[in-house]
Amino acid sequence: MPLAIVLMAVGFNFVNGFINGYYLGSLATIRFIGGITLFILGLFINWQSDTILIHLRKPGETGYVIPATGFFKLISCPNHFGEIVEWFGFALMTWCSPALAFAIWTLVNLMPRALHHHKWYKETFPEYPVKRKALIPFIL
């Protein structure tokens, strides 16, 4: 790939990100700040959970390992929980119906998957933590 194309792509994304960031920054209301805080919290939970899952087994190790760190101490699917929190935070931050529709779609898509995973864990592993919930800490 020619270097000029790479530099144009970087330049475009820099300008696009700055313009959108500048605009969104001008919306710094309590709702916006709360939404971006939720988005960042959800992103952190999602990334942390995925990192834990990726590093569950040591090289050459086989078999299933039950995650026991991070938000996995509280729920079976913190990666799903984090993604749901992200998109509801985004919906709050932007305060628009398409973002809310996407957040609801994410919830409706990931909740049944989390409930199914949780049920499978409980049926497959007798030692699975009894107090661990499926998707929402202390609730569901």
What are the tens digits of pLDDT across the range 93-121? 989 999 999 999 999 999 999 999 999 99
Residue 22 domain-assigned (yes or no) = no
- Cβ(137)–Cβ(118) below 8 Å: no
Residue 14 domain-assigned (yes or no) = no
* pLDDT tens digits along 7-53: 999 999 999 989 988 887 777 789 989 999 999 999 999 999 999 99
* pLDDT tens digits along 62-86: 888 899 999 999 999 999 999 999 9
Residue 129 domain-assigned (yes or no) = no
56 pLDDT higher than 80:
yes
Instruction: Name the residue among 54, 89, 55, 52 with its Cα closest to residue 73.
Output: 52
Alpha carbon dihedral 91, 74, 59, 54, in 10-degree steps, equals 0
Residue 111 domain-assigned (yes or no) = yes
Residue 97 belongs to what domain range?
A: 28-124
pTM of the model as a whole: 0.79
Task: Identify the three-state secondary structure at position 75.
Answer: strand
Q: Name the domain count of the chain.
A: 1
Residue 37 domain-assigned (yes or no) = yes
Task: Identify the three-state secondary structure at position 40.
Answer: helix
Residue 89 domain-assigned (yes or no) = yes
